[in-house]
Every structure is written in C-alpha cells, then in structure tokens.
Amino acid sequence: MRFAFPWAFLALILIIPFVSLQLRRNRRSTVRYSSIALFAHTGTSLRQRLHYLPLALRVLALILLTVGLARPQQGLEKIQDVSHGIAIEAVVDRSSSMGETMNFDGTETNRLEVVKKIFSEFISGNNDDLTGRPNDLIGVVSFARFAETACPLTLAHEAVDDLVQNISLVDRRDEDGTSIGDGLGLAVARLEKVEEALARMQQENPSDRHYQIKSKIIILLTDGAHNRGTLTPSDAAELAKSRGIKIYTVGIGSENGPGGLGGFFSRIQRAGRGVDQKTLAMLAEETGGVFRMASNADSLRAIYGEIDQLEKSEIESIRFIDYREFFVPFIQAALALLLLEFLLSSTLFRKVP
C-alpha cells in the first residue's frame, strides 16, 4: 500500500483546532436556572451520553476524506516482454519454371513446393536446425508477370503458413513471366507501410510499449531472370537501400541452370530461363544482404539457417508496477458519515438557540 499524495495528511493538523473550537462552543451553549436542585434526580439520558456523537462523526469523516485525498494505492508488479523483432518479407517466384522437378528429402516434387515447405520450417521451426521466427513480423509477396500480396506482415504465423500453402504456379500463359523488380517494389512498400503504422500507434499511445522493428529484410526466392514488370531490379535495389532494407537473394536450381550443364549451354539458359546470378548478387551486395544458390531442400535449409544467424530478434523484459486506486471507498464512507452527522444534528441532537 502506498499513497500517491501523502502531503494531504498535513490537513489532519487542522482537525485539532477544529475539535477544540467545537468543544468550546458546546460549553458556551448553556441555559441559566436559579437552582439546579430540580435536576438532581433526573439522571443522564442516552441522548445526553451521546451528545458528542455528531462531532465524532464529523471528525471521523474528515479523517476518511483526508485519507481519500491522499489516494491510497495497491501495487502489483508485472513483467511485460517487448519484442524488438525483424520485419521479414518473402518474395516468392511462382512462374511456370518453378514447376520444374526438385528434391525434397528424398521425394521428387517441384521447386515451388520445396520453397513453400522450407519457408514454413523457417518461420515455425523444424525441431532441428531451424528454430523458427516467433518474434518477427512475416509477410509474403508472390510474383510471376505481376506481383501481389499473398500475406500481409503479421505475427500470426499460423495464418502465414496457411496463406503460403495457397500460393500456386501460374496456369495462364498471359500471366507468366518473372517481374523481380515489381515483386521487390511491392515488398518494400509493405515494409514501409507497417513501419508507419507502428509509428502512428506509438504516437497515439506513447505510454504503451508497442512492437518495435529492429531491422527490415526481404528474402527473394526465384529460379529465373527479370523479364517483366515496370520496376527494374536496379531500381528496386536503390529503393530498398534508401529505406534501410536488406535483400537476401536465393537462386532456386543448380548453379549451371535448369539442365545442370555448364559452358555454352549454361550461358544460353541464363539468358532464357536460368537463374540470373549476376542480378541476384547485385541486389544482395547493394543492400547489405547475401546471395546464395539452393539446388535442393537441404541447401535451402542451410541458407535459412545462415539468415537465422545473421538476423537475430531480441526480447526485452520490462518490469513495472500496476497500481490500483482505493480512494473511492474512503470518500464514500466520509460522505456517508457527514450525511449521518447532518441528519442527527438536525433531528435527535438538534440544539435550541
């Protein structure tokens, strides 16, 4: 128990002269008789024995009122964990070439399915080499010829996982393509928007502890070369760099292209459907990220493990005391006593002038 305004108790000093003054007034209020012999055998009534009751009620009410004004409070210590997390926007290629075969733990599937499954392990953990990202904001942008938001940035990772699994390969030729620049541009816009929203929340409620973004990163996963869209990869890199966003680029497939051949055939494939390693390396280098190639599920896991080591979240535990106010009962009791004192003084203990 503590008192928010303990100086209010100084008012109790005034009660002593108040009581003294009231006692003096009571002594002066007398009636003169030539002889008091007539009252010798009358005895003392209950009303006479309690004639100080109104004064006692008023004094007690003033004491309770003073306690109420001092604002008694009961404190309860609380611990609040405030996350300084990372805002992570995955940019996933879903063009037709992502339908090519890729190995997932001994099973043949397509590249997009491997990307989705390992990304789920990255955000939720796999009880092995990936511990998950429970304190990070996760969002997903998918792209082919056009870029779109597959999942907004959120801490609800189960919802992210569900929405990621809904990403599918393009099934129309007029929607196919690889608009890397537009995908990155949309991811930058999403990261900027959530940061602005958190800043507004902090301004509107400065006393509250809100989620804080430690850093912002984009993880680009693609097996091709930019060939569609309005924003070039160079423009996207400049845009991300100006906003302090790192781009981690992951080329999906073998380093020698889809067919695994080197030399002359490798150059042909990179000009067409192969991974544009030069552009991906440029994106990472310009923004402070890392470029890696992933040829199967294990190598993709290793890349996410590397990102885990480079981008760590923090949790800050804040101890504070939440105080409950208890002045209301004291004020209510004081008012009730004053009302009782007024009623008694006006009826049973009424004084005749």
β-bridge partners, 91: 141, 220
The lowest-confidence range among 84-93, 110-119, 224-233, 330-339 is 330-339
Provide the strand spans (E) within 94-179.
Answer: 101-104, 107-110, 137-143, 147-154
Residue 70 and residue 8 in contact, taking contact as beta carbons nearer than 8 Å: yes
Residue scoring higher pLDDT (37 or 338): 338
Q: How does DSSP classify residue 11?
A: G
Mean pLDDT of the chain: 83
pLDDT at position 346 is: 78
pLDDT at position 56 is: 84
Decide if pLDDT at 34 tops 70. no
Provide the strand spans (E) within 94-226.
Answer: 101-104, 107-110, 137-143, 147-154, 212-222
Residue scoring higher pLDDT (105 or 48): 105
Decide if pLDDT at 261 tops 50. no
pLDDT at position 41 is: 56
Q: How does DSSP classify residue 174?
A: G
pLDDT at position 128 is: 84
Helix, strand, or coil here: 222?
A: strand
Residue scoring higher pLDDT (74 or 41): 74
Highest mean pLDDT among 33-42, 232-241, 318-327: 232-241
pLDDT at position 287 is: 97
Residue scoring higher pLDDT (352 or 101): 101
Residue 224 and residue 258 in contact, taking contact as beta carbons nearer than 8 Å: no
Helix axes 53-69, 15-28, angle to 10 degrees: 160
Helix, strand, or coil here: 321?
A: strand
Decide if pLDDT at 337 tops 80. yes
Q: Taking the CB of residue 262, how many other CB atoms lie within 10 A of it?
A: 12
Tell me what the mean pLDDT of segment 316-342 comes to. Answer: 78
The lowest-confidence range among 73-82, 109-118, 299-308 is 73-82
* Digit-coded pLDDT (tens) for 138-197: 999 999 999 999 999 999 999 999 999 999 999 999 999 999 999 999 999 999 999 998
* Bridging pattern class, strands 314-325 and 291-294: unpaired
Decide if pLDDT at 19 tops 80. no
Whole-angstrom Cα Rg for the chain:
39
Binned at pLDDT 50, 70 and 90, residue 264 comes out as: very low
β-bridge partners, 107: 104
Verdict on whether the full-model pTM lies above 0.85: no
Decide if pLDDT at 315 tops 60. no
Domains of the chain: 80-317 (3.40.50.410)
Binned at pLDDT 50, 70 and 90, residue 273 comes out as: low
Cα gap 201→206, rounded to integer Å:
8
The identity of residue 116, as a single letter, is K
3-state class percentages of the chain: helix first, strand second, coil last, to nearest 5: 45, 25, 30
* Digit-coded pLDDT (tens) for 87-134: 999 999 999 999 999 999 889 999 999 999 999 999 999 888 898 998
